Structure 1
Amino acid sequence: MLKINFVEEDIKKLHYERYHHPHPLVQKKMEAIYLKSQGVTHKDICRLCQISKTTLTKYIRQYQTGRVEELTKIEYKGQTSKLNQYSRQIEEYFKIHPASSVAAASDVIEKITGIKRSPTQIREFMKRIGLRCLKVGYVPGKSLEPERIKEVEVYKIEKLEPLLEQAIKGEKAVYFVDAAHFVHRAYLGFLWCFVRTFICSPSGRRRFNVLGAINAVTKEIITVTNETYINAESVCELLIKIADLGLSIPSVLILDNARYQKCKLVSEKAEALGIELCYLPAYSPQLNLIERLWKFVRNECLYSKYYENFADFKAEISTCIGTANTDRKEKLDSLLTLNFQSFAKVQILTV
C-alpha cells in the first residue's frame, strides 16, 4: 500500500475542497485522498468513490507530486466536436429559422452537416454557439411596419421621456391608464410536479373588469371596477378619483386609443378637472406601463389556481392590486421600471 505522511493543513484543505470545489472530478479526487488520510483502505476507497485501483493510484501519485494543488489539475480536455467546423453555417441558419425544440434542431443540424448526435450533445452545442431557449414575444402585426416603428420611437423620445423626466422631478404626476378584463376561467401555467396536474375550469361566462391608473413614479394604483363593461362613464369616474387626490402638481394620463377613452365626454371631463390626456400612438402597447401590472396580477393570483366562486375570484384580484404597492413592492418596482421595449432592432419571426 502506498504510504503518505499527511500534514494537518492538507487534511483540512482536502476536507473543504471535496465539497466546495466547482469541478466534480476534483471533488472526487479530494474525497479519495481525504479518505486515504483517515486510514480507510484502498479497497473501501475504491468502493465508496466508485473508482478503480489504477485511478486511485494515479490520484495518490498526483498528491505525492504536488500535494493538494496538483489534485486540482484537470488533465482530460475532451475531443473537439465535429460540429464545430459547421458552426458558422448552423448559426446563420438558426438566425433566420429558430428551432422550436432540441429535437427539431437536431434534425436540421443532421441535414446541414450529415452528423447525428444525441439530444444532450445537441443542446450543449447550441449553448456553446450562443443559442438560448427564450419565450417568443408577440405584438400587433401593424406595430412592426417601418413607418409605425419610426412613429413610436419619435413619440417615445419627444413626448413620453420628457413627461417622465418631469414626473421624476416632481413637476407632474404621470399616470398610465388601461383596462383589464379578467374572465372567470382557468389560467394554465407551469408547475414543478411529479405528475401532470389538472385544474377545474369555471364556465367563463362572468368577468371582472378593472380600469386602472398607475403612477409612473410612486406606483400608486387607482381603479374603477365592474362586472359589465368599461365605458366612457367609467373613465370619467377614474378622472374624478384622480382629481380628488388633491395633488398640487398637474396630472397627466397616458392612454391608448380605445374609443371609450378618446371621446368628447372624456375630453370635456378631463378639461373641467384640469387633467391632461396624452394618447399613445396606435399599436404601441409596449409603451403603456400598466400592461405589465396586468401581467403581474395574472402571474401572482391566476395562473394554475382555481377559484370555484366568482366572489373569491374577484376578491383575490382586488387584493393583489390593492396590496401590490405595499406587500409586493419589491417585485413591482423591479417590474415597472421606466424602460420600454423598442422594436427598431429586434428579430421578427416571419414564417
Structure 2
Amino acid sequence: MRPITFTADDRHALAHDRYHHPDPRVQRKIEVLWLKSHGLNHDQITASADVSRRTVQRSLDQYLEGGLPRLRRGQCHRPQSALAEHGSSLEVFFLQHPVRSAKPARAIIEQQTSIRRGLSQVRHFPAPPLNPFPSFILLLL
C-alpha cells in the first residue's frame, strides 16, 4: 500500500465533490478518496463506502495517475449511433420534405442510409422546430 498525501485544497475539493458532482460513479470514487484522506485503510473504506477492494484500488490509482481532474473525468462508454454520420443530410431532407408519421420517415431513412430502425427509434429523431409565426404574419412585417 503506497502512502498518499492530500493537500488542503484536494481535501476541500473532495469534501465538496463528494455530494455535488453530477456523476454518481465519480461521487463514489471521490468518497473512497475522502475516506482515504481521513486515514482509513482499504478494508475500512470498502465497508464504509460499500465498494469492492478493486474499486478502492482503481480509484487510488486514478488519483495517483492524474490527480482530481483524472478522477472527475470518469470513463463512461457512450456508443455512437450508426445514423450519426447521416444526421445532417437527413435533417436537411426532412426539412425540405416533411413527413406526417414515423412509417414514411423510417422508409426514407432506410432508403438513404441502408440502415433499418424501429418506429420508436425513428420517432426520437430530432424534429424540425415549428415556426411560431404563420406566413401571413411575416408578410405583414
Task: Check whether TM > 0.5.
Answer: yes
More helix by share: 2
> Which residue of the partner structure matches residue 33 of structure 2?
33
- Measured against aligned partners, the alpha-carbon deviations of 1:275-334 in whole angstroms (never above 9, x if no partner) come to xxxxxxxxxxxxxxxxxxxxxxxxxxxxxxxxxxxxxxxxxxxxxxxxxxxxxxxxxxxx
- Measured against aligned partners, the alpha-carbon deviations of 1:189-246 in whole angstroms (never above 9, x if no partner) come to xxxxxxxxxxxxxxxxxxxxxxxxxxxxxxxxxxxxxxxxxxxxxxxxxxxxxxxxxx
> Which residue of the partner structure matches residue 63 of structure 2?
63
Distance, in Å, in 2 between the alignment partners of 1:5 and 1:60 is 11
Instruction: Describe the SS at the equivalent of 1:79.
Output: coil
Q: Is the 8 A contact 2:106 2:119 kept in 1?
A: no
Equivalence map 1:129-168=2 (5 Å): 131=127, 137=132, 144=136, 150=139, 152-153=140-141
The count of aligned residue pairs is 132
TM (norm. structure 2) is 0.61
Q: Does 1:12 align with 2:15?
A: no
Distance, in Å, in 2 between the alignment partners of 1:121 and 1:42 is 46
More strand by share: 1
Structure 2 unaligned residues grouped into runs of 5+: none
TM (norm. structure 1) is 0.30
Instruction: Describe the SS at the equivalent of 1:6.
Output: coil
- Larger Rg over CA atoms: 1
- Measured against aligned partners, the alpha-carbon deviations of 1:34-79 in whole angstroms (never above 9, x if no partner) come to 23333272422552xxx54433322110112232232123444533
Structure 1 unaligned residues grouped into runs of 5+: 154-351
- Measured against aligned partners, the alpha-carbon deviations of 1:136-188 in whole angstroms (never above 9, x if no partner) come to 7575xxx63xxx854x23xxxxxxxxxxxxxxxxxxxxxxxxxxxxxxxxxxx
Distance, in Å, in 1 between the alignment partners of 2:122 and 2:33 is 32
Equivalence map 1:110-125=2 (5 Å): 110-111=106-107, 112-113=109-110, 114-116=115-117, 123=124
Equivalence map 1:284-323=2 (5 Å): none
> Which residue of the partner structure matches residue 82 of structure 2?
82
Relative distance call for 1:138 and 1:24 in structure 2 (3 A) is same
1:90 Cα deviation after fit: 2.3
> Which residue of the partner structure matches residue 47 of structure 2?
44
The alignment-based identity, stated in percent, is 26
> Which residue of the partner structure matches residue 54 of structure 1?
54
